Each structure stands twice: as C-alpha cells, then as structure tokens.
Structure 1
Amino acid sequence: MDRPLARCPGRGASSNPANRFDRLSAERIEDGWAPEADLPVLRTDIRVERPRRVITRNASPDVPFDRSINPYRGCEHGCIYCFARPGHAYLGLSPGLDFETRLIARPGAPELLARELSAPSYRPRTIAIGTYTDPYQPVEADHQIMRRLLEVLLEFRHPVGIVTRGTLIERDLDLLSDLAGLGLVRVGVSLTTLDARLARAMEPRAPAPQRRLQTIARLAAAGVEVRAMLAPVILGLTDHEIEALLARAAEAGAIAASWAMLRLPLEVSGLFRDWLAQHCPDRAGRVMAQLREMHGGRDYSPDWGRRMRGEGPHAAMIARRFRVMAARLGLDRDLPGLRSDLFRLPPRPGQQLSLF
C-alpha cells in the first residue's frame, strides 16, 4: 500500500512503498469520498521481539567496530535519509512510514547480553549501540531497554560506544559518568543542520539542533567524551553549515568530530527524492545531481571505502573543508580505544568473593 490510510503529521516519509521482497503491490486511489481531514492520525505501534542473541557481529572495513547491539528495530525519529530504512523489508514491512511507526522492541536484550558476556569464549571489545537505529528514540522513555543495557555493561566493566541524536541520553548521565570514569564509554552525537525548520522537516521527531548541542554540553560536564558526528552531509542542502556545526559543537564541549556523506541505499532513494520534491522543490534537482556525481551517476554506490564519503571533486571539497575546520578547532584528534582490560564476570548471588 503506497499511500497511508491515515494522516501523518510529524512523520518523515509520506508514503509506504512496497519493499523489494514483495511480489505484488497495491496503490490506493483517491476517489473523493474520504477527505484527508477525516482520516485518523497514524499512531506508533510497538511490538516485542524475543531474539536468541543480542550481539550482532560485522566485518565491514568502513566501521571501527566488529560488534553492535540494536535495542529497537525501526526508529520513531523518522529521519527521511536514514540508511537503516531498508532493513524493515526483512520484517515484511515498508521502509517508508512503517519504519517510523511500526517499531520492534527487544525488552529481553539486557538479560541476553549478560548471558553472552558470561560465555567462557567471549573476549571483550567495544560494543557499538546506535549505529543502526537510535537507542534513545522516544519509545525508550517507556521501555528503558538502553538504560538496562548500560547497567549490564557497567556491571561487567565492558566498553561501549554510543551514537544518538536523542536527548533522552541525559537520563542516563549517572551510569555514563561511572562508565566514563573507568574509560569505558564514548558518545557520538549526530548533527545535521542548525536550521530548526529544516531539521523539523527532515528529522521530524528528533530533538531540535540547539537541544542536541545542549546534550553535548551536559555529557561533557559529566565527564563523558563526546564526538560530534556531522552525518549526513547533504550537498546543496546542509553542506554550507559544516564550519558552523563544528564550531558550535566545539563550543559545547565535543573533543573530536567525524563526518559522513548522504547515503541512499535501495528504497531510501525514492523516499528521499519524494521528500525533496515536497519540501525543497527549488533545490531537488541540484541536490540529486551532485549526489549522483559522487556515486558514478547513481543515487548510491555501495562499494566499500567509498559509500560513506563518495568520490570526485565535490567529495574532495567537503573532505578538505571538514579537515581544515576540525584542525582549527582541535577536533581532528584520533581518540584512543576504550579500555577492555577491566572486563570481569560479576559475582553471582551466593558466590564467594575473591580475596585479591
């Protein structure tokens, strides 16, 4: 079903395109008998998944981690450009509105994590959380899966890297501060624009830009190292803000920065082009033309080593501008790895404690 049978205020996508695994598709045709004003508002639906394992392994050369955890599938933030949208097709759902309204929660993840960390063969290395969907999206306020994961990681003295644009992370400053004191945590806060109106259209249920900068400041004040992540950079739409974003992030207390270019894999391409036509029709052609120039004439190239940054003169220009400004602000540093030597199995109830 392409068009939703409900009104969709505060959503990034405006349609529910069939995913790539569907053999058949259907499209609703307006007949005038159900005016949009009479349609119900599309609400968020949350279902529970009970996986057998919670740590996901990867061997991608484009990322600095080999394991991650996803407390949720789908993301209510509704960022129109989110590269994780195609993953909803594996659930038989659409990468469009379904991705931001039909969510999957994993409430048993903390218990599974404790079990996997306790395995005799387990060897600790930094676990990444939030690299796919945001662990601090609005539904976390009720489910608190991320907080319980942090409690387990602190108990095991296990390193964790977190990526978020959600200010709900401030709720967990007590745990994050304890982890930071042991050298076990680093947080990346995603920034895309300082334009609140653009952010509201592009990331409808994510916190406003100024609020995210406040989160950086509060994390830094609690002793948590923060990396400002300019992701995605969108040529013709947000790239002119690179220097300003870096300056504001440094002022807030970020100690390092990174960037990634817009990625439009699979169904995300059509969703983003529709969004451009609706919200930025005067710039839509330019944005897509520059993007295709960086990906060999395609909307997206999945090649390792190039998919995150693109190639060609535009990509080189963005890389140079970022590098120069980051160096000027002291944000170009290579941060040391988090500690793995503190890892331990917490004592079980009734177990005798070590004398040493």
Structure 2
Amino acid sequence: MKNIDDFFHNKFELSKDTLLISDMLWHINAILKLKYFQRMEKNPILNDIKTNYPLSYEATSTCVSILGEKFPFEFTPDDIGYITLHIEAAIKRKQVSFSKRKRILLVCGSGNATSRILQAELETNIPNIEIVDKSSLKNYQHILLTKPVDCIISTLPIIDSIVPTLIVDISNINKEIQIISDFLANLDYHPTKKSWHLFDKQLFFPNLHMYSKFEAIKYVCDNLEQDGFVSDNFYDDVIARENIAETYIRNGIAISHPLDFPSPVTKIAIATFNTPINWSNTRKQVKLLFLIIPGEKYIDELDYFFDLLLPILDNKQKRQQLQKATNLLSFINHFEKI
C-alpha cells in the first residue's frame, strides 16, 4: 500500500484505510488461487475501468508490477482492473470525507500590504480556501501559466480573464466577504476551464507521420528534452511504463507517461497523426496521443483534464475536430468546449 500512497504523494493515505487493506488481501488471495489452478477470469468491464478511473488504473498498474516480483504469477490487465476498483472506491471514500479547497489567486495594485490584508480577511472568514499566490495586474497571467487556479479575486478590473474573476472593494471588505463566499460556492456549479495551463505551444505536435508507437513517443520525448521540459532519461522512463500495461484508452486515443515525476509543474504534450499508429499487439490504432509530464501535484492538476476527456472518448465529431486542429489554440477551444 505504501507504493500506492507514493504514487498519489500521500494525498489519500490509503495505507491507513483498513477496509481497503482487507478488501485487497481478500481479492489478491482470490487471484492467486485462480492462478494456482490455472484458471483465467476475464474482466468484462476492463475498458470501462481504464476509461473512467485512469489515475487509479495507472497507480494500480505501476504498483502491481512491483508486487508481481514477489509472486510466481503475473498479474494480467484483467486482474489489475479488478484491483483498481478497490483503489478507486477507497479514494472516493476519502474524497467524501473532505471538501475540495478553492485555489485562489489574489491580484492587487496597491502593494504587498493590500494583498496581505485581503489574504488575512479571506483566510479568517472563509473555510476551505488556498491562496495560491499574490500578484500584480502585470504579472498575474504568468502565474496562471505555472499554477492551477480555480479563480481570481482582484482589487483591480481584469478584462477577458480566462478563469472566473471577482472584483472586490478592499475598503469595504467586511461587506464583501459574503459576496466572495457566494462567488466561491457557485464555482461548484459553473466549472471553469482549468486545463489550458497544462498545455504549451512547444508541446503541440500536429499531423505527424510516424510508423510505430515507439517512433512517435521518441519523437515527442526528443523535442521535450531539446526544449528543456524533461531530462535525457525521460524516454526510457516512458517506455518502461509502456511495458507494464497498455496505455491505449479507446477510440484512437492513448495516454502515455513516465514512471517517475520529472517536473515541478504538470504539462501535457499532444501529438496527432496523419495515419493511425498500431499501439498494441492487438493492433489497436491511435490518432491522438497525450503524453503527460507529471509534476509534484499532478493528481489535482489532472482532475479537470480527465473530466473533459471522458465525454470526448465517445464523441466522434469532437475527436475528429481535435485530430484536425493545426494549432494549440484551436485544439484547446475544441477540447474545452462543452
């Protein structure tokens, strides 16, 4: 269980979940008995598990590869799928136990003192918030590129903000607190577009002509290394993950990533292919690849990305629009358009 906790950076503390431990021991014991008697059990919902619970499946795949070294049997993707359900159930139990904190960027124009006062008032009067950073009007867009933010609270007008923004009067902050509370509560019902900060124009590779999965991954990884996004062992780490379990998701889409966490900030490279590439021994073909560079807080940063991706998997028109996009702005507009 420690390996699972390490994967999620101890966010959920699953190793302390006694129900999960009990369920896992029972299920792994059942799997081992089946293998001892050379019986195979297909998982009829494996594709649904991989699609609906991608992070839990990745965590399970990675950690089961380590667990498998202690047993004379190999855990199949079907086994991994069943174990994933236990992990996902435990995460859901944990998520119910605490509400999600709102990540706020403060923008002020009267110096550090104003932002300090505003931060103190918010943290004193409003629960479940995190002040991600404080910024001037000139620099706030740079912060949005590097940190996930749910909203901006500003003492200055901001035009065409790409995240929900509330302008407040610092001189009347006591009356503004209720307005701010209502604004934050409404974020739960009006999801904001938060995936854009994961992308970068240097990480967008449209209309590639590749002959194999390994050639495609190598091409993207080489460019990431050349532009300073990753180190020189990134490709090997991605391939090591590819060798553990299949990264093909569904309907021409694959999501690759390394075993390690090579970046302080999560980024996603995008590659589209002129002709489909065989991605597995079963000849499943990929036309759109997301290659994740996981950062230290990638679990939180990828939540919204997967929320947007899931309906796209079964939307042929949307997939075609993404595959035909020739620039990053067009891709993001199609990706985030509900």
Under TM normalisation by the shorter chain, which class is it? Answer: under 0.3
Higher helix share: 2
Select the structure with the greater relative contact order (CA < 8 A; seq sep ≥ 6): 1
- TM-score after normalising by structure 1: 0.23
Q: Which has the larger radius of gyration?
A: 2
